[in-house]
Amino acid sequence: MSEVHQGRGYVYSIQYHLVWCVKYRHHILYGNIDTYVKKLLNQIALDNDSQIIEMESDKDHIHLLIECKPQHYIPNIMKAFKGVSARLLLKAYPELKKRLSGGHLWNPSYFVATVSENTDEQIRHYIQHQKKN
């Protein structure tokens, strides 16, 4: 169950399920790259005053369950997650540019859904079981 937080003059509990893919669904999210992108995403969340509750990837896409404040605007959150992670990941692993068309890491589209206390556990379970062996 998600926590209820207080702001100045308001009470909130806001969670989103976010999913996005690697450009052209290239399988690059494994090993050190997968570990590094998850580290980056956690730092980006902290830098943007949000929190990743669950995170998992499976070769070509990432699932996040995040908690944020009412002031957050989803397109800005996605821009931060995708833009900053792409820039830093391609800097750390320049060989990825050769594998990706035009050097673009992420597909420009994404999926977002609100999460209620009724669906919280289902989505956590779904994200935790993303990685296929």
List residues with catalytic annotation. Answer: 126
Report the C-alpha gap between 57 and 37 in whole angstroms. 10
Report the C-alpha gap between 113 and 84 in whole angstroms. 22
Q: Which run of H or of E encompasses 119? A: none
Report the C-alpha gap between 93 and 36 in whole angstroms. 10
Beta bridge partners of 21: 61
Report the C-alpha gap between 29 and 79 in whole angstroms. 19
Residues in the chain: 133
